[in-house]
């Protein structure tokens, strides 16, 4: 089974070809990603209209490059998969429309993939992980703990009630005048800072649910930064270190609860899986390793290129769905919001503009 995957939900324009063999093993034949970081850097964040226009300009060339690198023709494809949401709707429309055109012209099945499902199934692409396992998805648009029970079977155990984790890192970086993207810059500054200088709150600590909240922590950083103005370089490092320490402690607590909820419902998870751009943070990876060890399970983090948005994860999710006979019609809609767990409800008071994430 050969599947072309297309990803355009945010600011990466990506396409890939993945092979799924009859025994469920996978092989990535190509994975081409073009980041738009430079286009958005001067705005300090992703501008939806700019992202959509860039996808229009770039996607045809990215798809052609992925097909050429894979060494196959369109007639050899078993399916075309595209991220149909959740995400910035302009970009989602570009990717899904392109996939529909390819599918129609070459009479190939179409698969409309939930971007979150693609993240959830990525460890099965990299190491053929068996179900069930626990996913911690943390990026600029997502912060969730999800029980991955099977293809199409997901139970959300926890989510953010306000900011996503990557969003909080980016906003802290912006308020401290650090370059965009902010997450790596905060981590870099924190390495030279004192994590005990500021007593920032640990949001949601000790609660019986597994939800996250980062808005209050972000506000605490802003208040301290305002009090210290003008900021010296060491102040910035100490603020970043103290902020990151609070995130680490809160994350460890929330994941410990999430794993306990998982075990109560599904038994011991085969692994704790981390995905999303925040999983590239070395301090967070170390904290996750400690959580997994205490829960007596294995921590799996896919390679960085497969943690962040990419076409290979979309192609693989498409292949997994097609193996079960799950395809879509040309009426498949683009979605700005698309819950992974169809029965999930946003937490009371959910203020995130990306609630559907």
> Residues within the annotated binding site for substrate?
137-141, 170, 183, 187, 281
Fill in the DSSP letter of residue 276. Answer: S
Q: Do residues 131 and 124 lie in contact, with contact meaning Cβ atoms separated by under 8 Å? A: no
Q: Is 338 left (phi over 0), alpha (psi -120 to 50) or beta?
A: beta
Sheet holding 12-20, edge to edge: 26-35, 12-20, 2-7, 79-85, 110-114
Residue with tokens 């995400």, as numbered in its chain: 87
Angstrom distance (rounded) from CA 179 to CA 71: 39
Residue set of the binding site: 115, 119, 137-141, 170, 183, 187, 281, 309
Angstrom distance (rounded) from CA 171 to CA 180: 10
Angstrom distance (rounded) from CA 275 to CA 268: 20
Angstrom distance (rounded) from CA 163 to CA 215: 6
Residues with Cβ within 8 Å of 213's Cβ and at least 6 positions away in sequence, in order, are 160, 161, 162, 203, 204
Fill in the DSSP letter of residue 212. Answer: B
Residue set of the binding site for Fe cation: 115, 119, 309
Strands (E), the chain: 2-7, 12-20, 26-35, 79-85, 110-114, 133-138, 143-150, 153-159, 272-275, 299-300
């Amino acid at each position: 089974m050969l599947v072309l995957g297309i990803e355009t939900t945010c600011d990466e324009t990506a396409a890939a070809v993945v092979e799924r063999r009859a025994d469920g093993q996978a092989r990535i034949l190509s994975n081409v990603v073009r980041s738009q970081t430079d286009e958005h850097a001067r705005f300090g964040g992703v501008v939806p209209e700019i992202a959509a226009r860039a996808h229009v300009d770039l996607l045809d060339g990215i798809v052609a490059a992925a097909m050429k690198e894979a060494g196959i023709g369109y007639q050899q494809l078993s399916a075309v998969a595209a991220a149909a949401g959740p995400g910035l709707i302009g970009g989602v429309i570009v990717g899904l429309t392109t996939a529909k055109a390819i599918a129609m012209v070459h009479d190939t099945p179409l698969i409309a993939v939930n971007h979150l499902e693609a993240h959830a199934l990525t460890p099965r692409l990299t190491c053929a992980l068996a179900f069930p396992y626990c996913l911690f998805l943390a990026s600029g648009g997502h912060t969730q703990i999800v029980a991955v029970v099977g293809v199409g079977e997901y139970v959300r155990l926890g989510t953010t009630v306000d900011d996503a984790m990557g969003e909080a890192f980016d906003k802290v970086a912006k308020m401290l005048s650090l370059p965009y993207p902010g997450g790596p810059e905060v981590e870099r500054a924190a390495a030279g800072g004192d994590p005990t200088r500021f007593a920032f709150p640990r949001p949601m600590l000790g609660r019986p649910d597994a939800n996250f909240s980062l808005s209050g922590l972000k506000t605490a950083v802003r208040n301290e930064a305002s009090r210290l103005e003008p900021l010296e370089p060491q102040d910035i490092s100490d603020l970043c270190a103290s902020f990151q320490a609070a995130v680490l402690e809160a994350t460890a607590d929330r994941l410990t609860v999430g794993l306990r909820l998982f075990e109560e419902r599904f038994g011991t998870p085969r692994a704790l899986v981390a995905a999303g751009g925040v999983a590239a943070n070395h301090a967070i990876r170390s904290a996750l390793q400690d959580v997994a060890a205490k829960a007596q399970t294995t921590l799996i983090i896919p390679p960085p290129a497969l943690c962040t948005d990419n076409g290979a994860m979309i192609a693989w999710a498409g292949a997994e769905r097609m193996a079960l006979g799950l395809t879509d019609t040309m009426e498949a809609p683009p979605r700005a919001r698309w819950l992974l767990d169809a029965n999930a409800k946003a937490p009371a008071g959910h203020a995130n503009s990306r609630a559907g994430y």
